[in-house]
Amino acid sequence: MTRRVSMTVNGRPVEADVEPRRLLADFLREDAHLYGTHLGCEHGVCGACTILLDGEPVRSCLMLAVQADGAELTTVEGLARADGLHPLQEAFREHHALQCGFCTPGFLLTSLYLIREQPDLDDEDEIREALSGNLCRCTGYQNIVDAVRDAAGRLRQESQTTKG
């Protein structure tokens, strides 16, 4: 028993026949072949599988593919720009905010949402609190916090330049 689902992932239409029980994360990885969305716990705690669904962060391990029917999704593969890395990715690279890189896609999408919601984000404690739903076992978070703060600054500057 399968159902047809269609959604837009990173601006491209994706369609497949799936079992109703198929996890959204498995759909993205196995059906859409977007392996950048990682599964670290499959019970909604670690945040590695975080994606944006209609602009909101969700844990793709806690959703079924059929629940995302018709939605617009952003995964880590959709972040980079035509001319290179997204400023957030650049900031992660410059601050050594990743080691093994397994949790990184989840951190990037959580941070992207965070910075969009709070463009003025700068306070370390606030950033730490906001990132506390994502687990990293390698870095101790210090460099991730620095990268997110730096990226928020870069994006503020970018939007000012665009406005000016």
Partner 1 sequence: MRRREDAELLTGKGRFIGDLSRPGMAHAVFLRSPFPHARIGSIDADRARAMPGVHAVLTGADLPPDLGAQPNTHLFGERETPYYALARERVRYAGEPVAVIVADSAYLAEDARAQIVVDWDPLPSVGSVERALADDAPLVYDDLDWPDNVAATFEQEMGDVDRAFDEADVVVTERYRIQRQFACSLETRGVLAEWDANVDELTLWTSSQIVHIARDLLAAVLGLPEHRIRVLVPRLGGGFGAKFHFYPEETAVALAARATGRPVRWVEDRMESFLATVHAREQRVELSMAAREDGTITAVKGDLMGDMGAALHTVGYGPLWLTAVMITNVYEIPNARVRARAVVTNKTPLGSFRGWGQPQANFVVERTVDRLARELGRDRAELRRQNLIPPERLPRKSLHHTLDSGDYPACLDRAVALLSERGWPDRQGELRDQGRHVGIGISFYTENSALGPSRMLNEGGVQQGGYDIARMRVEPGGEVTLYTGLCEMGQGLTNALTQVCADNVGVHPDQITVVTGDSSQVPYTGYGTGASRGAAVGGAAVMKASRTVREKVLRIAGHMLEANPDDLEAEDGTIFVRGTRARSVTMADVGRAAYIRAIELPEGEDPGLEAIEAFDPPQFAWPYGANIAVVEVDVETGVVSFLDYIYVHDCGTIVNPTIVEGQIQGAVAQGIGAALFESLPYDDEGQPLFGSFMEYLLPTAAELPRLAMEHQHTPSPNIPGGMKGVGEAGTIGSPAAVVAAIEDALSPYGVRINETPVTPSAILSMIAEREVTAA
- Residues of this chain that bind partner 1 (CB under 8 A): 19, 21-22, 29, 34-43, 45-46, 48, 75-77, 79-80, 85, 89, 92-94, 96, 98-105, 108, 124, 127-129, 131-145
d(C-alpha 111, C-alpha 116), whole Å: 8
**Minimum distance of partner 1 from residue 72's CB (angstroms):** 18
**Minimum distance of partner 1 from residue 73's CB (angstroms):** 13
**Minimum distance of partner 1 from residue 163's CB (angstroms):** 27
**Minimum distance of partner 1 from residue 152's CB (angstroms):** 15
DSSP code string of the chain? --EEEEEEETTEEEEEEE-TT-BHHHIIIIIS--TTS--S-SSSSS-TTEEEETTEEEETTSSBGGGGTT-EEE-GGGTSBTTB--HHHHHHHHTT--SS-SSHHHHHHHHHHHHHH-TT---HHHHHHHTTTS--SSS-SHHHHHHHHHHHHHHHHHHHHHH-
Helix 104-117 to helix 87-94 angle (10° resolution) is 120
Please say which residue, 70 or 80, places its beta carbon nearer to partner 1: 80
Please say which residue, 45 or 69, places its beta carbon nearer to partner 1: 45
Instruction: Give the tokens for residue 11.
Output: 């601006």
**Minimum distance of partner 1 from residue 164's CB (angstroms):** 29
